[in-house]
Every structure is written in structure tokens, then in C-alpha cells.
Amino acid sequence: GEDMEITTYLEHGMMSELSGNVVDLCPVGALTSKPYAFVARPWELSKTPSVDVMDAVGSNIRVDARGKEVLRILPRINEAINEEWISDKTRHVWDGLRTQRLDRPYIRKQGRLEPASWDEAFHAIASKFKGLDGKRFAAIAGDLAGAEEMFALKLLAEGLGSPNIDCRQDGAKLDPALGRATYLFNSTIEGIEQADTVLLIGTNPRIEASVLNARIRKRYREGQGRVPIGLIGEEVDLTYPYDYLGAGPETLAKIADGSHDFAKKLSGAERPLMIVGQAAIARPDGDAVLALAAQAAKTLGALNPKLGWNGFNVLHNAAGRVGGLDLDFVPGKGGRDLESILDGAEKGDIEVVYLLGADEIEMERLGSAFVIYQGSHGDRGAHRADVVLPGAAYTEKDVIYVNTEGRPQMTARAVFPPGDAREDWTILRALSGVLKQPLPFDTLNELRSKMFEACPHLANLDAIAPSDPSAIEKLAKGKGKMGKARFESKFGDFYLTNPIARASELMASLSALHANGAKKATGTDG
């Protein structure tokens, strides 16, 4: 009757990272997205198909905008990646696209960032490069950097004579020289549904890749509980039952040598699925742990060429990471990696650091280095910078991202960047001219042509280039000194993992809601 109310179960919130999908499921529209309610009518919006960058899954989305503002993000169906789902972060981060934006260049004067013109900003940068040895320059690409701008920055660093580049902002020990199979989700996301056993190593897919975690849960339910799932790392709620095996490398070593009960339990599995997370490899002994995981994959029979099955998987949580590895945005011969760049900046050996949307590093370790920050939001990197160059967010440019399974996809511009902000590749092209190291392209098509020559598989959008599983065999032969520390995630708050999310009021409210447990919250709160 008149007292009936549409809500979640009585006096409780729906504490899920995928709760927004319930609105899409409602057949009559009785359930409404609270942040979008009364904001716009559907016919007022321009609708742009694009790709999500809040994690490395590469969920297909539709960006709805009116004028200069994005007002809604909805899922697009892609059975191979996200089916018809997206995470709450993907869905509700849109208000962060218009707040705390960098819409003009800035230069630090007397300790304060002051607005400047593009010419003034470029002149300030050029003056720092006069007579500078290229080896005293370093560049770090952030988690949201697209392939085109990383390729341009790599070419610029090479032109300046610097081998000090790195896209592994968290320090993950992944080396593209070992082969693509050593850093991809080789089974593919859709392949999870074929797995007959799952081993999670140093990962919490529920917060690192919510939609992918739902696919694991789907496999568990379809297997009617007969798909064994084991976890090595932090003991967390994954929304499905699993066997907790241990916390760190010692447990993984027992899996690798076959002495662990779980390894014996899986001896008859045809398609074992192993997922290695960043908590296992973003640590000083990460290369040794990765090699041990490859050994475990062999022990469990995860490499089965007869069935065409490669069950060795690395789960990324940064949208730009696989693209960076594909483009070899890692230290060149004699170059410094992230840790060495920070160490060099502290000691004064690195004088200039270029941050391409890199906000998750330890800014205090940059010492007295001259810092150039290029990005879309006034976050940690911009606060530390000596010169700020305003770039475009993912909804404001056509750029390629490669998801965790190695699938290149392209975003599409739904709105234009605010103020004087520009697409990132154009900033680097203009800067290269001022530095007397002009990049070999003047248009986006020319840039992509050069990039596809260097990395041909990026041209095959929405397709996964086959990787050579023999690379994992070679990886398994690697050895290194391994510590005993537990696999502890540095992922932090699910809702506040990047500059766009941290600028969002909706993300802040969701973060607070989940932090408080929301024991008495209803589904209409937040």
C-alpha cells in the first residue's frame, strides 16, 4: 500500500563494491541512482562509448555528458571482459572529473605555485635542461597514463639521453624483457569460467578488480562448490569460500615443491588457475617471488599446451601498467628503476624528475630535484611540483589502454579538457620542440604509426595477441634471495586509489560509509 518502500534488506546497507548494478537490474526503474537523480534527462545527454581506467580490467563503459560536464557513467555489454557489470568506483567517480582540476600551467615561485602561460612554463623547464647531463634526468609514468603519452615521453627521454624511466609506480618486479606471458592475465578474464581450481597469491581481487572477482564467484557457484579456491596472503572476505593456506613466500614454496596439502589436492586438475597479485611482486624480493610462482604453476599443471591452457596470471590494478610494459617504459641499459630514481633524487644525483600523472610515489623522497608534473588533477604530484602542466582526463582524449589480459582498447573523448589543459601527447610534442629534441610526429596518427611500428599488437584493438608460454618456463628457472615477509597489500582504500577518485565527493562518502561499517545505513544512504 501507501507505506511500501523500495530499499535493501531492513536497516542495513548493501556493502558491496558492485551495488550500483542493482539499479541497472531493476526492470521498471523503481530503483534510481541517487547521485544521478534529477540531474538530467536522457535525451539531453551525449552518449560516448569508452573504457574504464579505475582498475586494469578495462570494463567497457558509456560516458553520458551534457555540455562540458560528465554526468553519468554506465556499463556497456562485453561478455569477454565485464559482461554487463561495472564497479561502484567506475560508476560514481564522474563528479571527480570536474573538481580539483588543473586547467592552467603553474610555476613555483618563492615556494608557491603561481599561474603561468604555456610559454612561461616551457621556458622554466628549458632553463633547467641547459647543460644537464641526460643521466641526471628521470621520468615516471603513473597508473592512469595512456599508451600514446608514455610512448612520447619515452622518446623524449631517449632524445635527452636518459635511460631512467619507469612505469612501475609501486615498484613491481615485472620485466618485459622476460616475455609478455610473465606479466599478463594469460587465461583471459573469460577463461576463469573454464578453471577447475583457483590459487590466489598476494591479491585481493574483490578490491583490486571487483568485476573480475565477480567472475571468480560465478565460477565457484556454477561449479556448485566443487572448484577449490586457495589463498596465500591477507585473509579477507572475497564473497566466496576459500582455503586459507598461509601468508607469504614460505607457503608458496611448499606449493612449488608439491609438499603442501593444497598442491596434492589439485594433482588431478586439468585447468588450474593461478593469480599473482601486486602484493606478492611489488616488494624487494618480488622477482624471486614471481619466479617461485612460475615454479608453482608448473607443479600444479597450470601450463597445459595440449588443452591450450595457460593458467599463470598476473593481476594488475593500474590501467596504464600493461601498456607501459608493452612499450618497454622501464629502465634502459644502465638506467635507474623507481627505487633508484628516488634514491638518486634524495642524494642529488637526479636533478630533474618528470611525473606523468605519477601521484602514488613517496614525494618526500624527491629531495631537492626539480619536479615537472603533467596530469589532470591537483593531487600529490602537483603539490610537490615546481612546474605543473595541465593534461586531460580519460574522458577527454582518445587514447589506448591495455588491460590486465593484454587487450588494447581505446577511450573516446566525451568532453573537452577544461581551460588551458591539453591532451597529454600534444604537451610532450610541444615541450620537445622547446628542448631542441623535437619528437618525430606532429599529429596523433603519426604518433600512433610510430608506436605501432615499435609495438605492433597495440594496433589490434580489442584483440589479445598470443603470448609465448615458454617465457614462464624460463621464468621458473630464475632464482633470487627471498624474504619471509607476509604478502601485504599496499592498495589502500578501494574508493581513493587515484587522483580522480580522491577528487570525488561521492568516493569520499562511499569510503566513509564502508569505513564505518554502515551497520544501520539503508540502501538509500551515500
3-state SS class at 283? coil
Of the candidates 25, 18, 29, the one whose C-alpha atom is nearest the C-alpha of residue 54 is 18
Check: CB of residue 360 under 8 Å from CB of residue 338.
Answer: no
| Mean pLDDT, range 170-175, rounded to an integer | 95
Nearest 5°: CA angle at 474, between 468 and 476?
A: 115
Tell me how far apart the alpha carbons of residues 71 and 437 are, in angstroms, rounded to a whole number.
40
Check: CB of residue 165 under 8 Å from CB of residue 266.
Answer: no
Tell me how far apart the alpha carbons of residues 422 and 445 are, in angstroms, rounded to a whole number.
17
Confidence of residue 11 (pLDDT cuts 50, 70, 90): low
Q: What is the dihedral of CA 281, 287, 291, 297, to 10 degrees?
A: 20
3-state SS class at 139? strand
Query: Cβ atoms within 10 A of the Cβ of 275, count?
Result: 28
Going 366 to 372 to 374 to 380, the CA torsion angle's sign is positive
Going 112 to 118 to 124 to 125, the CA torsion angle's sign is positive
Confidence of residue 10 (pLDDT cuts 50, 70, 90): low
Crossing angle of helices 424-434 and 147-159, in 10° steps, is 10
Check: CB of residue 159 under 8 Å from CB of residue 437.
Answer: yes
Of the candidates 348, 345, 371, the one whose C-alpha atom is nearest the C-alpha of residue 359 is 371
Tell me how far apart the alpha carbons of residues 116 and 108 are, in angstroms, rounded to a whole number.
10
| Mean pLDDT, range 17-42, rounded to an integer | 84
- Residue 326's identity, in one-letter code, is D
The full length of the chain comes to 526
Check: CB of residue 365 under 8 Å from CB of residue 342.
Answer: yes
Give the strands of the sheet with 352-356, arranged side by side: 112-115, 106-109, 387-390, 370-375, 352-356, 137-141, 165-166
Check: CB of residue 293 under 8 Å from CB of residue 252.
Answer: yes
| Residue 358 predicted with pLDDT over 60 | yes
Check: CB of residue 239 under 8 Å from CB of residue 215.
Answer: no
Tell me how far apart the alpha carbons of residues 526 and 521 are, in angstroms, rounded to a whole number.
9
Cell of 256: 612449488
Tell me how far apart the alpha carbons of residues 519 and 12 are, in angstroms, rounded to a whole number.
6
Tell me how far apart the alpha carbons of residues 127 and 110 are, in angstroms, rounded to a whole number.
17
pLDDT digits (tens, 9 = 90+) for 465-524: 999 999 999 999 988 888 889 999 888 889 999 999 999 999 999 999 888 764 444 333
Could you please report the per-residue DSSP string of 315-340?
Answer: ----TTHHHHHHTT-S--TT---HHH
Confidence of residue 6 (pLDDT cuts 50, 70, 90): low
**Rounded alpha-carbon distances, angstroms, from residue 479 to 138, 187, 371, 484:** 29, 25, 37, 15
- Average pLDDT along the chain: 92
pLDDT digits (tens, 9 = 90+) for 219-259: 999 988 789 999 999 999 999 999 999 999 999 999 999 89
Confidence at residue 115, expressed as pLDDT on a 0 to 100 scale: 97
List the beta strands (DSSP E) in 387-515.
387-390, 400-402, 408-410
Query: Cβ atoms within 10 A of the Cβ of 221, count?
Result: 11
Range name among 1-5, 48-52, 193-197 with the lowest pLDDT average: 1-5
β-pair type (312-314, 46-51) = unpaired
Cell of 283: 616488494
Global confidence as pTM:
0.94
